[in-house]
Structures are given as C-alpha cells and as structure tokens.
Amino acid sequence: MKDPLTLLSLSLGILLTVFNIVDRIVFYSKQAKVPEITQDNRIAKLELDVDSINKKLDSDNKRIIELEKSNRVMLKCMQALLSRDETKMDEEAAALNRYLLER
C-alpha cells in the first residue's frame, strides 16, 4: 500500500483542483452575465427614449391636424372673398367664428 502522506497529498491535490474548477465555473458564469446586465440597461434606456419620441410624435401629429383644419377654414374664407358672393362670405365668416370659438 502507498504511504499515508502520499495519499493525503494526493487527496489534497484533487480537492484543490475540484475547488479551483468550481471557482472558475462561478467566475466565468458571473462574467457571462455582465454583458447581459449592461444590455438590459441599454434596452431599458432605449425603450424610454422611444416612449419619449412617440409622445412628441403624437403631439406633433395633433398640431399638424389642427393646422390643416385651420388652413381649410382660412382657404374657404379666402375663396368666398375672391368669389365676391356675400352669402358665401357670411357662411364662411360664421364657420371661421365657430372654428375660433371651438379652439
């Protein structure tokens, strides 16, 4: 049989190797999660940016729709003025007044 000191040193060597392997597995698994965490943070920031941009686009879209309505009313008034039809002018003036009061 082998010397007990040799068996002890062999057992300690195997034990240290196993602990080292486990330590490396834990270390690399933590290192593998770091990019995932930074990627999640970047994605969260991008989602906030997209939400902010969507709110601005909605606001701009509402403003553009309002401008188009305003332009239509003004163009109808100008058309009535150019046609020199007093009935049309009165109707479009009333429409303009209604539009301005609704705003």
Tens-digit pLDDT profile for residues 41-84: 999 999 999 999 999 999 999 999 999 988 888 888 888 887 78
Cβ 100 vs Cβ 84: under 8 Å = no
Largest CA distance in the chain: 124
- For residue 102, what pLDDT band results from cuts at 50, 70 and 90? confident
Global pTM value: 0.52
Identify the pLDDT of residue 96.
81
For 103, residues 6+ apart whose C-beta sits below 8 A from its C-beta are 66
- For residue 1, what pLDDT band results from cuts at 50, 70 and 90? low
- Type of residue numbered 42: R
Chain-centroid distance of CA 34 in Å reads: 23
CA distance 103 to 77: 17
